[in-house]
Homo-oligomer: A and B are copies of this chain.
Protein backbone atom coordinates (compact mmCIF):
# COMPACT_ATOMS: atom_id res chain seq x y z
CA UNK A 1 0.00 0.00 0.00
CA UNK A 2 2.83 2.35 0.81
CA UNK A 3 3.99 2.16 -2.78
CA UNK A 4 0.75 3.15 -4.40
CA UNK A 5 0.60 6.11 -2.11
CA UNK A 6 4.19 7.09 -2.73
CA UNK A 7 3.58 7.17 -6.47
CA UNK A 8 0.12 8.69 -6.25
CA UNK A 9 1.18 11.51 -3.94
CA UNK A 10 4.19 12.35 -6.06
CA UNK A 11 1.98 12.31 -9.15
CA UNK A 12 -0.48 14.71 -7.52
CA UNK A 13 2.32 17.07 -6.51
CA UNK A 14 3.78 16.99 -9.98
CA UNK A 15 0.47 17.82 -11.65
CA UNK A 16 -0.13 20.62 -9.22
CA UNK A 17 3.41 21.98 -9.66
CA UNK A 18 3.19 22.00 -13.43
CA UNK A 19 -0.15 23.78 -13.47
CA UNK A 20 0.85 26.35 -10.84
CA UNK A 21 4.12 26.99 -12.57
CA UNK A 22 2.43 27.66 -15.88
CA UNK A 23 -0.13 29.94 -14.26
CA UNK A 24 2.61 31.97 -12.60
CA UNK A 25 4.08 32.82 -15.99
CA UNK A 26 0.81 34.41 -16.96
CA UNK A 27 0.49 32.58 -20.25
CA UNK A 28 -3.11 31.66 -19.71
CA UNK A 29 -4.15 30.76 -23.25
CA UNK A 30 -1.56 28.17 -24.07
CA UNK A 31 -1.85 26.96 -20.49
CA UNK A 32 -3.77 23.75 -20.67
CA UNK A 33 -2.28 22.38 -23.84
CA UNK A 34 1.29 22.95 -22.63
CA UNK A 35 0.71 21.40 -19.22
CA UNK A 36 -0.97 18.36 -20.71
CA UNK A 37 1.85 17.92 -23.18
CA UNK A 38 4.54 18.36 -20.48
CA UNK A 39 2.91 15.69 -18.34
CA UNK A 40 2.35 13.45 -21.31
CA UNK A 41 6.03 13.75 -22.24
CA UNK A 42 7.15 12.79 -18.75
CA UNK A 43 4.84 9.79 -18.83
CA UNK A 44 6.14 8.82 -22.27
CA UNK A 45 9.75 8.57 -21.09
CA UNK A 46 8.77 6.70 -17.93
CA UNK A 47 6.60 4.32 -19.98
CA UNK A 48 9.57 3.55 -22.22
CA UNK A 49 11.69 2.72 -19.18
CA UNK A 50 9.01 0.65 -17.49
CA UNK A 51 8.15 -1.54 -20.46
CA UNK A 52 11.79 -2.44 -20.87
CA UNK A 53 11.83 -3.84 -17.36
CA UNK A 54 8.43 -5.48 -17.58
CA UNK A 55 9.13 -7.34 -20.82
CA UNK A 56 12.63 -8.45 -19.87
CA UNK A 57 11.53 -12.05 -19.38
CA UNK A 58 8.48 -12.10 -21.66
CA UNK A 59 8.30 -14.04 -24.88
CA UNK A 60 7.89 -11.89 -27.95
CA UNK A 61 4.44 -10.81 -29.02
CA UNK A 62 2.44 -12.39 -31.84
CA UNK A 63 0.60 -9.30 -33.01
CA UNK A 64 -0.79 -5.93 -31.96
CA UNK A 65 -3.68 -7.50 -30.06
CA UNK A 66 -1.21 -9.61 -28.11
CA UNK A 67 0.69 -6.46 -27.15
CA UNK A 68 -2.52 -4.74 -26.09
CA UNK A 69 -3.46 -7.69 -23.91
CA UNK A 70 -0.08 -7.43 -22.21
CA UNK A 71 -0.68 -3.73 -21.57
CA UNK A 72 -4.16 -4.44 -20.17
CA UNK A 73 -2.95 -7.15 -17.86
CA UNK A 74 0.72 -7.22 -16.83
CA UNK A 75 1.54 -3.58 -17.45
CA UNK A 76 -1.64 -2.30 -15.80
CA UNK A 77 -1.27 -4.54 -12.74
CA UNK A 78 2.33 -3.46 -12.25
CA UNK A 79 1.54 0.21 -12.53
CA UNK A 80 -2.03 0.61 -11.33
CA UNK A 81 -2.63 -2.53 -9.22
CA UNK A 82 -5.46 -3.93 -11.26
CA UNK A 83 -6.27 -5.16 -14.73
CA UNK A 84 -8.12 -3.20 -17.35
CA UNK A 85 -11.78 -4.22 -17.00
CA UNK A 86 -12.68 -4.19 -20.63
CA UNK A 87 -10.74 -4.16 -23.91
CA UNK A 88 -12.47 -3.49 -27.19
CA UNK A 89 -11.13 -3.10 -30.70
CA UNK A 90 -12.47 -2.42 -34.17
CA UNK A 91 -9.73 -4.69 -35.58
CA UNK A 92 -8.46 -1.75 -37.60
CA UNK A 93 -5.94 -0.38 -35.16
CA UNK A 94 -8.21 1.29 -32.60
CA UNK A 95 -8.39 -0.07 -29.07
CA UNK A 96 -10.49 1.12 -26.15
CA UNK A 97 -9.27 0.17 -22.67
CA UNK A 98 -11.79 0.69 -19.93
CA UNK A 99 -10.76 0.87 -16.28
CA UNK A 100 -13.77 1.04 -13.98
CA UNK A 101 -11.77 2.24 -11.02
CA UNK A 102 -8.72 4.05 -12.27
CA UNK A 103 -6.06 4.37 -9.55
CA UNK A 104 -5.22 8.02 -10.15
CA UNK A 105 -8.86 9.10 -9.97
CA UNK A 106 -9.85 7.30 -6.78
CA UNK A 107 -8.91 10.27 -4.63
CA UNK A 108 -11.72 12.29 -6.20
CA UNK A 109 -15.28 11.95 -5.04
CA UNK A 110 -17.34 9.87 -7.42
CA UNK A 111 -19.75 11.35 -9.88
CA UNK A 112 -19.59 14.40 -12.08
CA UNK A 113 -18.48 17.12 -9.69
CA UNK A 114 -14.78 17.17 -10.57
CA UNK A 115 -15.10 16.03 -14.15
CA UNK A 116 -13.37 19.13 -15.46
CA UNK A 117 -10.27 18.37 -13.42
CA UNK A 118 -9.90 14.83 -14.74
CA UNK A 119 -7.79 15.50 -17.86
CA UNK A 120 -4.94 16.90 -15.74
CA UNK A 121 -4.67 13.59 -13.97
CA UNK A 122 -4.81 11.44 -17.07
CA UNK A 123 -2.14 13.07 -19.24
CA UNK A 124 0.76 11.37 -17.49
CA UNK A 125 -0.92 7.97 -17.83
CA UNK A 126 -1.65 8.49 -21.51
CA UNK A 127 2.05 9.17 -21.90
CA UNK A 128 2.92 6.00 -19.99
CA UNK A 129 0.88 3.90 -22.39
CA UNK A 130 2.19 5.68 -25.48
CA UNK A 131 5.78 5.28 -24.27
CA UNK A 132 5.33 1.61 -23.52
CA UNK A 133 3.76 0.91 -26.92
CA UNK A 134 6.38 2.99 -28.68
CA UNK A 135 9.15 0.83 -27.25
CA UNK A 136 7.28 -2.24 -28.47
CA UNK A 137 7.35 -0.79 -31.96
CA UNK A 138 3.82 0.59 -32.06
CA UNK A 139 3.51 4.26 -32.86
CA UNK A 140 0.19 5.38 -31.32
CA UNK A 141 -1.99 8.26 -30.29
CA UNK A 142 -3.38 7.75 -26.79
CA UNK A 143 -6.23 9.78 -25.35
CA UNK A 144 -8.37 9.38 -22.26
CA UNK A 145 -11.96 10.17 -21.47
CA UNK A 146 -13.92 10.21 -18.22
CA UNK A 147 -17.68 10.31 -18.11
CA UNK A 148 -18.13 9.27 -14.51
CA UNK A 149 -15.40 9.14 -11.85
CA UNK A 150 -13.47 7.01 -11.11
CA UNK A 151 -14.08 5.13 -14.34
CA UNK A 152 -11.95 5.96 -17.33
CA UNK A 153 -11.55 4.98 -20.98
CA UNK A 154 -8.22 5.08 -22.80
CA UNK A 155 -8.33 5.12 -26.55
CA UNK A 156 -5.29 3.89 -28.45
CA UNK A 157 -5.10 4.54 -32.17
CA UNK A 158 -2.21 2.89 -33.98
CA UNK A 159 -0.60 5.15 -36.55
CA UNK A 160 -0.12 3.28 -39.78
CA UNK A 161 2.91 4.37 -41.74
Contacts and interface: CB of A to CB of B under 8 A. Distances in A.
A38 interface: yes
Q: What interface size band does chain A fall in? A: 20 to 34
A79 B49 contact: no
A50 B45 CA distance: 26
A46 B13 contact: yes
Contacts of A63: none
- Residue with the greatest number of chain B CB neighbours at <10 A, chosen from A5, A21, A50, A53: A5
A6 to B, nearest CB: 5
The 9 A-B residue pairs with the shortest CB-CB distance, nearest first, are A3-B3, A2-B78, A9-B46, A13-B42, A9-B49, A6-B7, A7-B7, A14-B14, A10-B10
10 contacts: A1-B53, A2-B78, A3-B3, A3-B4, A6-B78, A7-B7, A10-B10, A10-B46, A13-B42, A13-B46
